[in-house]
Amino acid sequence: MVLNLVKMITMANMLSMFILMEVVAGGFRFGVDGLRMDYYIMSCPFAESIVKNTVNRALQDDPTLAAALVRMHFHDCFIEGCDGSILIDSTKDNTAEKDSPGNLSLRGYEVIDDAKEQLEDQCPGIVSCADIVAMAARDAIFWSEGPVYDIPKGRKDGRRSKIEDTINLPFPTFNTSELISAFGKRGFTAQEMVALSGAHTLGVARCSSFKNRLSNADATLDSEFANTLSKTCSAGDNAEQPFDATQNTFDNFYFNALIRKSGVLFSDQVLYTTPRTRNIVYGYAMNQAMFFFDFQQAMVKMGKVDVKEGSNGEVRQNCRKIN
């Protein structure tokens, strides 16, 4: 009887090991380079925690970096896909994306550098800069009391970063049709575009991005808020105006501001003044949970835009230059 019990336990252990092997193999079965939630589970198991801890330390010192990290991820993915091309420095032979007018106000590169340096010490040549940017944006949103979500990893770093490509970034002067078209070219619906615009609940805009609204008597702008913007711009083009009243907290206040005709950028306010997107704005203003859900879905989708895989990319040793 004891012998039979031992045999049963042995068989159970073998079966458990077989199931475990199937689960592990299943996680890696669909191509070494495919995006997966568990991409670094074997090759660099502490990758996620290293990035998160680095982001948290940076945000404790400077909470405004949350908006910067989210914006960096967007500006990376919108040009050449999510491939870390926004991180590459210009050289004497090439002016990179980061030096275009639309990217000069980007910040937070040192946070990515810090995380990358730690990851290269732990697991050299494994974690891409593109994945670090995507994870940093996700962690910044969570730190700012935004929605919790996970993203698949496995992006490779691109080898191209050219200033001329940034012409495809949305401009703060875009109307709704232009926004829908720009996002549509990258596979996003109008609703997903509005949800992603909600990232403006974090951060500030520079006067140079909205001062044209003040000189043209913008009818979509509340008169008292126009006075506030004018006062901001009296300090010069680099003076900053928060997008909403809680600039370091991820919430739905941005959409409530649009309803009050207090959107900072023209491209913000038109989302409410245009019939096609007005109800979406109103819905998010009334229901933060719905905004959070749609936003996290759209962010996961954005993180998959034109990713580089396999030989189409590389894992940079230094995020600022191609290997």
Asked if the model's pLDDT at residue 185 lies above 80, the reply is: yes
pLDDT band at 123 (very low <50, low <70, confident <90, very high): very high
pLDDT number for residue 216: 72
Across residues 301-323, what is the average pLDDT? 94
Terminal Cα distance for the chain, rounded: 64
97 among annotated binding-site residues: yes
pLDDT number for residue 309: 86
Asked if the model's pLDDT at residue 179 lies above 50, the reply is: yes
CA–CA separation, 66 vs 18, rounded Å?
A: 44
81 among annotated binding-site residues: yes
pLDDT by residue (tens digit) across 157-171? 999 999 999 998 999
Q: What is the pTM of this model?
A: 0.88
144 among annotated binding-site residues: no
pLDDT number for residue 190: 97
Asked if the model's pLDDT at residue 311 lies above 90, the reply is: no
Indicate the range of 2-11, 255-264, 285-294 predicted with least confidence: 2-11
**Candidate list 71, 73, 75, 213, residue with the active-site label:** 75
Number of residues written out for the chain: 323
Domains parsed from the chain with CATH numbers? 46-168 (1.10.520.10), 176-303 (1.10.420.10)
pLDDT by residue (tens digit) across 77-110? 999 899 999 999 999 999 999 999 989 999 999 9
274 among annotated binding-site residues: no
CA–CA separation, 133 vs 130, rounded Å?
A: 5
pLDDT band at 34 (very low <50, low <70, confident <90, very high): confident
Question: Is 73 part of the annotated catalytic residue set?
Answer: no
Residues 6+ apart with CB under 8 A from 120: 317
73 among annotated binding-site residues: no
192 among annotated binding-site residues: no
DSSP secondary structure of 151-199: --B-PBBPS---GGGGGGSPPTT--HHHHHHHHHTTT--HHHHHHHHGG
Indicate the range of 19-28, 179-188, 250-259 predicted with least confidence: 19-28
pLDDT by residue (tens digit) across 134-156? 999 999 999 999 999 999 999 99
pLDDT number for residue 254: 98
Across residues 256-264, what is the average pLDDT? 97
Asked if the model's pLDDT at residue 19 lies above 80, the reply is: no
Q: Kind and range of the H or E element at 5?
A: helix 2-27
Neighbouring C-beta atoms of residue 295, cutoff 10 Å: 25
Asked if the model's pLDDT at residue 8 lies above 70, the reply is: no
